[in-house]
Chain A
Amino acid sequence: MASDFGPILRALSRNKARASIIVLEVALTLAIVVNCVSLIKDARLELAKQSGFLDEDLISVRVRAFDPAFNEQPFTDSVIAKDVEALRALPGVAAATQTRFRPWQGGGSSNEVWIAGTKSPTFRIQTYAADGQTFKSLGITVAEGRDFTDDEAVSERDRVRAVTSQNRPRSADGRATTPIVQEIVVSRAFAKLAFADGVALGKSLEDSDGDQYAIVGVIDRFYNPYAWNIGEYVMFYATRSTGMQYLVRAEKGQRETLLKSLDKALLTVNPGRVVKMDTIQDLKLKNQGEQLFVVKMLGGVIFLLVFVTALGIVGITSFSVAERTRHIGTRRALGAQKTDILRYFLTENWLLTSFGIVIGSGLAFFLNAALVSSSTASRLAPVLLLVGMGIMWVTGILSALAPALRGMRIEPAIATRNV
């Protein structure tokens, strides 16, 4: 093979244009493909995130009332209680609860807190109401500390309503003089963010109203996309909220059946309403729409790009073979084997591809630097470059194979024939 290098290089130097086209094409393709794969990897990282809950069994139910009777809060409260009962009684329901929280809805409610009694930095954290059934409905258990109880949710709601239903006396800094203390469950990621030792249990947070939040439990995993990078930080506090929003967890395989019966069960409780249901998987699909789009589009571009480059190599090598028909015939007549001819063209192609790969590697890092500085792209992993090199070598060899085989079959007699 090495003995071919000399003649190949001399031949190439006489046809610089064609050689440099292959080199340039391979280099550009490598640089683009590697960076696209890197962008796909970034998007996949986002797509691979887990909410921490049993997404595939969950249904979010949102009910809107148009019956004026619902203007009275006690009436609404009583309907909510009956709704939850009706939901839990449905066959195929593993757990159900009233909560405003929906995994993967993206956004929600958040608050700013700091470690109580300190001048710690403030942390923005998602906040949602929960009761004794919330974590059960989400399909998880509290990893550390304790879960809430249903009674607690009701008594807490009544207690907080009593305090906030009138103007709270406040000191000069705007904080209420009688702060409310509530018990909360936080995510492990928040515990690690806020407390140097990562231990949150037994500690307290405070907000700008002066209200305090005592941490009684920690859940292992949580993710709901939210602006400001607070997707993994959450506190759940015990209360019954006011809205008719429910989260239902179906028993395995029962979700589709439930989607047909849920709304009827609720309308039996009170018909003056409209029921809207979403599976959490649908919410997730919608939420990740942009990432999915990017992955699909970039995947398509990579495929087409490699395809176009392959077309180019096929074409150029074909010309190269056609042009040297007489030379090949002469070589064959002078005793060269068919495999010598095949090897010659494959080696020539390999040399060009390799040269392109060397230039393309540098170009890839250059392009990546531009992407990193102009968007949220991450740095190029060297292993990706290796994979890209592999793809280009294989593409190069495969594309050159057909024309090279054609060259191989050229008869020695052609050397003596006059065109």
Chain B
Amino acid sequence: MALLGYDLFLARKSLRRNPGLTLLVVVGIALGIAVSTTFAAVRHAFQTDPIPEKSSMLHSVRLDSWDPAAPHPDRVGVPPQVTYRDMVEIMKSKIPVRQSGMFKTNLYVFPADKAQNPFEEMARVCYRDFFAMFGAPFAYGGTWDEKADGGEPVVVLSEPMNQKLFGGVNSVGKTVRLRDRDFKVVGVLAKWMPNLRFYDLTQNYIGEPENLYIPFGLLRPMELQLAGNNDGWGPNTGTGFEGYLASESTWIQMWVELPNAQAVAAYKSFLDAYATEQKKIGRFQRPLNNKVTPLLEYMADREVTPRAVKSLFAVSLLFLAVCAVNLIGLLLGKFLARSGETSVRRALGASRKDVFLQHLVECQLVSAVGGVVGVLLALGALSGINAWLKSQTGRGDLFALDLPMLLVALALTAGAGLVSGLYPAWRACQLAPAVHLRIG
């Protein structure tokens, strides 16, 4: 321990002797840590499991009800959403512990306080299971009852919406006017801010969750208009809203919670049986290809992490590699330049191991300082990227240096220091005592 203290003392002394050079070395490694940590954090924001306690149980459901003439143009060849008629039928299954079809719609909100202007708001239209399924916590009240799923005017508010409409008090039981009817508030969510809107990856999934949630059964009586993606094919068999509901248009995200492998297998065969049944009436003319995909796999399927982010991360690691090579060169030069001093230490009895450790400690000190500076730079860079993202999507807190990312930065720092330090330290401890003493 005392030796380590002495090594640190020597390292500090050596770093202070040539401040210009020390700055060069520190800046070099700090930039490497900053760039790689920044892009690791950006990538991390897309790859974090949004709901670790149950992501393996949440499954996205996709049915291949597409055009027999050509597969769906998505990468996996199956439409990412299901038709209304199929959702109605498969929701009858008792296998999932929880399930919900859903979509989003724009609604006008008329605040009870007449001084506030009516405003437009995105609402999620879903089943009562939505909240428990996706881990949305309630501050007041809870989800609506089963009967309300059929189409009663009840609503769950997000925390910000409750703040806006009712000043944040417990508003359960109060009414809020949405479009042309009064909705009773049955629940208010507590703060809920998953990294991504992972329950709907079809469109603009970087963003905050919706502020209003209403029962799916209101679709027909209110003729709710879809605000998300709609992929369709084939002839319209009817007219108007009913015609749309009966068509082959796919526009509903379907999720089920399946607790174990048996349930997954049972549910899969249920879907295949359904599709086979539908084949008899002329639908589902493509080969059976229904997909029940766990959340994380589905996120990979949908390519949630933008390719640009993956490329930038790869590039940043290469950048760090260059910085490490750079560090090797500079340390090597530095150590060999003071070989005289090292020889003296050796001649005075320091063992090779002592010299080796002394130099390694100096490397670690350099990279530790570089790491701290690098993390500070990364914080700056991330806040810049967040500000930019806010201007794009309205969400300004997506990228952060959380604990796992700080650990990554720490590992990168220690790794870079060690990898870059080993060779120069080894070269330094190979110096023979006598030769340099003679010159000196």
Contacts and interface: CB of A to CB of B under 8 A. Distances in A.
A252 B281 CA distance: 59
A314 B332 CA distance: 14
A312 B315 contact: no
Nearest to A24: B325
B333 A315 contact: yes
Given A17-B423, A21-B328, A316 B333 contact: yes
A318 B440 CA distance: 21
A301 B315 contact: yes
A150 B240 CA distance: 25
Contacts of A35: 315
Interface string B65-99: 00101100100000000000000000000000000
Interface string B326-352: 101110111011000000000000000
A4 interface: no
Contacts of B24: 311, 314-315
Given A314-B24, A318-B333, A319-B336, A305 B308 contact: no
Contact of A319 (B323, B334, B385): B334
Given A167-B239, A274-B119, A294-B308, A25 B329 contact: yes
Given A17-B427, A107-B229, A298 B337 contact: no
Nearest to A294: B308
Nearest to A317: B333
A208 B110 contact: no
Interface string A157-183: 000000011111010001110000000
Contacts of B322: 25, 28-29, 32, 305, 308-309
Interface in B224-251: 229, 233-240
A32 B319 contact: yes
Contacts of A371: 311
Given A25-B322, A175-B235, A208-B235, A18 B332 contact: yes
Contacts of A41: none
A343 B179 CA distance: 81
Interface in A33-62: 35-36, 39, 43
A2 interface: no
A274 B109 CA distance: 12
Interface stretch (A257-265, A285-293, A333-341, A409-417): A285-293
A280 B361 CA distance: 58
Contacts of B323: 308
Given A174-B234, A294-B312, A323 B337 contact: yes
Contact of A21 (B179, B325, B439): B325
Interface stretch (B27-35, B52-60, B258-266, B407-415): B27-35
A318 B35 CA distance: 27
B280 interface: no
B307 A375 contact: yes
Nearest to A66: B108
B180 interface: yes
Contacts of A22: 329
B237 A174 contact: yes
Contacts of A298: 312, 315
Contact of A304 (B31, B39, B318, B336): B31
A294 B229 CA distance: 26
A152 interface: no
Interface in B136-150: none
A322 to B, nearest CB: 6
- Of the candidates B69, B235, B337, the one having the most CB atoms from chain A within 10 angstroms of its own CB is B235
Interface size class of A (residues with CB under 8 A): 35 or more
Interface in A7-36: 17-18, 21-22, 24-25, 28-29, 32, 35-36
B308 A293 contact: yes
Interface string B250-273: 000000000000000000000000
A381 interface: no
Nearest to B423: A17
Interface string A358-393: 000000000100010011110000000000000000
Contacts of A166: 239
A28 B235 contact: no
Contacts of A315: 21, 24-25, 326, 329-330, 333
B182 interface: no
A25 B315 contact: no
B306 to A, nearest CB: 6
A371 B119 CA distance: 46
A167 B238 contact: yes
Interface in B196-221: none
B239 A32 contact: no
Contacts of A196: none
A210 B28 contact: no
A170 B238 CA distance: 10
Given A32-B322, A308-B323, A322-B337, A21 B329 contact: yes
B327 to A, nearest CB: 8
Contacts of B239: 164-168
A419 interface: yes
Contact of B325 (A25, A274, A304, A374): A25
B235 A124 contact: no
Contacts of B120: 64, 274
26 contacts: A18-B332, A18-B333, A21-B325, A64-B106, A124-B73, A167-B239, A168-B239, A208-B233, A274-B118, A274-B119, A293-B308, A297-B39, A298-B315, A308-B32, A308-B319, A309-B322, A312-B329, A312-B330, A315-B21, A315-B326, A316-B329, A316-B330, A319-B332, A320-B333, A322-B337, A375-B310
The 10 closest A-B pairs by CB, nearest first: A319-B333, A21-B329, A312-B326, A174-B235, A228-B73, A66-B108, A315-B330, A294-B308, A209-B235, A289-B392
Given A168-B239, A208-B233, 16 more contacts: A25-B322, A32-B315, A36-B315, A66-B110, A66-B179, A68-B180, A208-B67, A291-B308, A297-B39, A308-B322, A311-B28, A318-B333, A319-B337, A323-B336, A375-B307, A419-B440
Interface of A: 17-18, 21-22, 24-25, 28-29, 32, 35-36, 39, 43, 64, 66, 68, 71, 107, 112, 122, 124, 164-168, 170, 174-176, 208-210, 227-228, 274, 286, 289-291, 293-294, 297-298, 301, 304-305, 307-309, 311-312, 314-316, 318-320, 322-323, 367, 371, 374-377, 419
Interface of B: 21, 24-25, 27-28, 31-32, 35, 39, 67, 69-70, 73, 106, 108, 110, 117-120, 179-180, 229, 233-240, 306-308, 310-312, 315-316, 318-319, 321-323, 325-326, 328-330, 332-334, 336-337, 385, 388, 392, 423, 427, 439-440
